[in-house]
Amino acid sequence: MSMRVSRFESRRCDGFGDVQHKANWFWQFLAWVGGISILIVGSWTLCFPSSDSTSPNTSIESDDGSGCSQNVLAPSWTVEASELANVAGGDIVPVRSVADPYPSLHSVVVDSDNNRVLMSDSNRGGLLIYDRAAGTPLDSSSVTEPLTQVRGPATGMMFVAGVASDPRNREVFAVNNDIGDRMEVFASDAEGNTKPKRILFVPHGSWGVALNRKREEVAITVEHANTVVLYRREATLGDAPLRVLHGSNTGLQDPHGVVFDEAHDEIFVANHGNWAPLTRAESLQGELKGGKFDLPSIATYAGDANQDQAPTRKIQGKHTELNWPMGIALDPVHDEIAVASYGNDSILIFQRDAQGDVTPIRTIGGSRTGIAGPMGVSIDVQNDEIWVTNYREHSAVVFARTAKGNVAPKRLLRNAPPGSPAVGFGNPGAVTYDSKRDEILVPN
């Protein structure tokens, strides 16, 4: 018995060879650790030589009329299996691994109409759906099970970040950050390893997503490009955005959370405050410009904002207490906005029309709150509650809407046993070993 190792070539053509694989949009083969990622964009065909062509010098030529007439070399050498018996490798178990077996809760949105809460799991690439009244007392060690979840290879979800819910059209939206570069849209009753209703290819580094039901639009923030892109709600595949908000006048600086105010036709965007030019044109706007670090901000734009349009107002300054603002939520009834301030483990509430270096009207934070690395926040106006997802703990906490200070939450949702460490991997891209300190360093 022999094992043949065949070479293959990738050519842009309409069809070729005995085995053809076509990717009309994206092919991505991905392994998280120690693997490779191959991304083929456009209409490409991988042409493999015939499995029964054994001559080292044989070439294979298209005879199917496809128009792809280049030759591909056949296999040029074979290896006997017996020769590989003593070669290290194969399907082996690692000596040890560092991984988090539990969900890492990212963004959250409350669907009050259907008494459901939707959370994204960026660790395992899925969505968790809980009953709105779910949770346990603070002294309970019980794990709260979701009603259902959407997860598996058919879903296409990877490093899921922002989520949005559309009860009227019975859809949920999930944006992949850093890897995946697409948004999946599922039916609201989807569960398990199910395919999305549609997908939309979005810019690399997309994070937050918000839905405007009046305009029938979806807004997506793009971290690295300092951009907000706005699409039709039903946009699919490679549809172009309706508008692109980008430029030095916008004040967009590593944008994350985003929310629409439909009543006042405005868009709120939470910015980390760091900015760097991504193109030569950006770095040469009148003079050579490098990157910069400004204070975090919440910028407000007109609902039809486009291109390099400046915000109508901005919350920014040392009194705001903003520190790595992530998710943002709107309370249209009480004219308030809430933001998850990751850097200081707090939820900051401002007046909707606040601007400048203002102090929050309320702050939820402290040792009793159970807030640890808040990533998502959602306001349930109907039931007078605020939901918060913790990235540094396997939990979500629920407060009274008017809560402030170092107060205990009304209830707690655990998705892992108490004390389970949250590894905190957020799309690890490299690894190195510090021999002096005997530590493994993993940048995220």
- pLDDT of 249 over the 60 cut: yes
pLDDT, position 341: 98
Q: Using alpha carbons, select from 209, 106, 190 the residue that is nearest to residue 427.
A: 106
8 Å CB contact between 153 and 193: yes
Give the burial string for 81-120 (b: 16+ CB within 10 Å, else e). eeeeeeeeeeeeeeeeeeebebbbbbbbbbbbeebbbbbb
Its sign, for the CA torsion 153, 157, 160, 164, is negative
- pLDDT of 444 over the 70 cut: yes
Cα(433)–Cα(431) distance, integer angstroms = 7
Name which residue leads in pLDDT, 354 or 94. Answer: 354
Cα(196)–Cα(157) distance, integer angstroms = 9
* Cβ contacts of 300 within 8 Å, gap of 6 or more: 266, 267, 268, 269, 311, 312, 313, 314, 355
Q: CA of 96: how far to CAs of 11, 93, 373, 423, in Å? A: 40, 8, 27, 15
Q: Is 257 helix (H, G, I), strand (E, B) or coil?
A: strand
Q: Which of 20-34, 76-90, 241-255, 262-276 has the lowest mean pLDDT?
A: 20-34
pLDDT, position 51: 38
Q: Please, which pLDDT band fits residue 87 given cuts at 50, 70 and 90?
A: low
Q: Which of 58-67, 259-268, 275-284 has the lowest mean pLDDT?
A: 58-67
* Mean pLDDT of the 183-192 span: 96
Phi, psi angles (nearest 5°) of residue 55: -75, 130
- pLDDT of 252 over the 90 cut: yes
Q: Please, which pLDDT band fits residue 285 given cuts at 50, 70 and 90?
A: low
- pLDDT of 109 over the 50 cut: yes
Cα(246)–Cα(32) distance, integer angstroms = 32
CB atoms within 10 A of CB 423: 15
Length, in residues, of the chain: 444
Q: Using alpha carbons, select from 347, 336, 418 the residue that is nearest to residue 376.
A: 347
Cα(109)–Cα(129) distance, integer angstroms = 10
Q: Please, which pLDDT band fits residue 185 given cuts at 50, 70 and 90?
A: very high
- pLDDT of 128 over the 60 cut: yes
* Mean pLDDT of the 346-356 span: 98
pLDDT, position 288: 65
Q: Over the stretch 403-412, which tens digit does the pLDDT of each residue have? A: 999 999 999 9
Structure token digits, residue 237: 């595949």
Angle at Cα 184 formed by Cα 278 and Cα 251, nearest 5°?
A: 30
Q: Over the stretch 412-424, which tens digit does the pLDDT of each residue have? A: 999 999 989 888 7
* Mean pLDDT of the 290-310 span: 95
Q: Please, which pLDDT band fits residue 180 given cuts at 50, 70 and 90?
A: confident
pLDDT, position 422: 86
* Mean pLDDT of the 165-172 span: 96
Reduced 3-state DSSP string for 390-433? ECCCCEEEEEECCCCECCCCCEEEECCCCCCCCCCCCCCCCCEE
Name which residue leads in pLDDT, 152 or 276. Answer: 152
| 312 residue type, one letter | T
Q: What percent of the chain has pLDDT over 90?
A: 67
Is the overall model pTM greater than 0.85, yes or no? no
Q: Using alpha carbons, select from 345, 282, 285, 293 the residue that is nearest to residue 316.
A: 293
Name which residue leads in pLDDT, 254 or 48. Answer: 254
pLDDT, position 287: 64
* Mean pLDDT of the 319-327 span: 98
Q: Over the stretch 56-85, which tens digit does the pLDDT of each residue have? A: 333 334 344 443 434 333 343 444 555 555
| 293 residue type, one letter | F
Q: Domain 105-414 is of which CATH architecture?
A: 7 Propeller (2.130)
* Mean pLDDT of the 372-388 span: 97
As annotated, the residues of the chain forming the CATH 2.130.10.10 domain(s) are 105-414
Angle at Cα 32 formed by Cα 253 and Cα 208, nearest 5°?
A: 30
pLDDT, position 96: 86
3-state helix, strand, coil in the chain (%, to 5): 5, 40, 55
pLDDT, position 26: 34
Strand partners, 316: 297
Q: Which of 47-51, 58-62, 202-206 has the highest mean pLDDT?
A: 202-206
- pLDDT of 30 over the 90 cut: no
